[in-house]
Amino acid sequence: MQDRYNREINYLRISVTDKCNFNCRYCKPDNSPSFLESKLLTDDEILKIVLGASKIGFNKIRLTGGEPLVRHGIIELVSKIKAIDGINEVVMTTNGSLLPRKIKELKKAGLDRVNISLDTLDPVKFKYITGGGNILDILESIENLLLLEMNPVKINVVLMKGFNDNEIMDFINLTKDKEVIVRFIELMPIGSHEFPFEKYYLSNNEVLKQCPELTRLDNSHIETAIYYNVPNYKGKIGLISPISNHFCNSCNRLRITSDGLLKTCLHGNVEYDLLKCIREDIEPIEDFLKNSIMLKPKSHKINQKDFQKVDRNMYKIGG
């Protein structure tokens, strides 16, 4: 359905857990407490939400987290979501570490595509930024996705000044022989962690500066990224620039956190209690979603005087 600004809202991002087997320094501080099990959306509640959403025109579901693959029963959940009438696409954002063991079953269950997060190609830096991760697992996941033709395979790189801006060309070079889309994402001012926005934010213009060969592709403002390629390279580069070039006028999404709160904007602190609505049977889910869509703001307020940083860290939202 359309919101007040004529945007067709048809994409629902559901965080299925706030737990994660990594502790990325810009996302989840070490020893962060997790929500109580009783506060988390159950499989049945997630399915009820998706069913309600499908009735008002949502057709794409992204499962995220925390790390979605640590949720018990995630494969069955994918398959049940995919079976709901009107849901054309079920996709996932993951750190990729547990993917090699589960990818074939996930594909069989109906998972269409995967976005993998990978902020450095250096194994030592990778271990540091993720709080102990092994880069080989992620590289294996990318190869598996390519072999299974779960295209396009997207690799998300959060650009951080002084951490990985010296690897921009290495990431671009990945697209030479591999049919992957490397998407540089600007660091966002969300929550509290070791990589404060003020110190580590770098505009995506840096990517264009370091690689003048990047050529903007036609019709390239698809979803949130603007796409480029280096002529004759197999893959593409995407720039997701919520800070330097916001894309709010084409925002088509709602977010549900793993504790059942609905967010109409990633960069706002407004949250609507969908969990309470379901558990106390307050109103039909479709009505709750419709009312929330009508309250979706025109744009975020980053760069404006009255901007207030989002309190939740990203692992408690889903990205």
Encoded amino acid at 17, one letter: T
Cβ atoms of 148 and 140 closer than 8 Å: no
DSSP state of 69: G
Under 8 Å between Cβ of 202 and 165: yes
Question: Distances from the Cα of 67 to the Cαs of 21, 131, 165, in angstroms?
Answer: 7, 14, 25
Among 135, 182, 185, 225, binds ligand SAM (CB under 6 A): 185
Vertex 254: Cα angle to 252 and 260 (nearest 5): 170
User: What does 238 bind: ligand SAM, ligand SF4, none (CB cut-off 5 to 8 Å by kind)?
Assistant: none
Residue type, 303: N
Site string for ligand SF4, 58-97 (x = CB under 6 A): -------xxx---------------------------x--
Distance CA 195, CA 33 (A): 19
Q: Which of 17, 54, 93, 264 binds ligand SAM (CB under 6 A)?
A: 93
> Distance between alpha carbon 52 and the CA centroid of its chain, in Å?
22
Tokens 């359905």 — which residue?
1
In the complex, what is the shortest distance from the CB of residue 72 to ligand SF4, in angstroms, rounded to a whole number? Answer: 17
Residue 152, preceding peptide bond in cis (omega within 30° of 0): yes
Partner touching 23 among ligand SAM, ligand SF4, none, CB below 5 to 8 Å by kind: ligand SF4
Binding of ligand SAM at residue 310 (CB under 6 A)? no
Mode of pairing for the β-strands spanning 113-117 and 153-159: parallel
* Site mask for ligand SAM (CB under 6 A), range 214-243, x = bound: ------------------------------
With respect to ligand SAM, which residue has the nearer C-beta, 27 or 50?
27
Q: Is 114 in the site for ligand SF4 (CB under 6 A)?
A: no
Does 190 contact ligand SAM by CB under 6 A?
yes
Contact code string over 155-184 relative to ligand SAM, x by CB under 6 A: -x-x--------------------------
Instruction: Say whether residue 193 binds ligand SF4 (CB under 6 A).
Output: no
How does strand 11-15 pair with strand 253-256?
parallel
Using the minimum distance from each CB to ligand SF4, give the nearer residue, 23 or 292.
Answer: 23
Residues that bind ligand SAM (CB under 6 A): 20, 26-27, 64-65, 67, 93-95, 117, 156, 158, 185, 187-188, 190, 314-315, 318-319
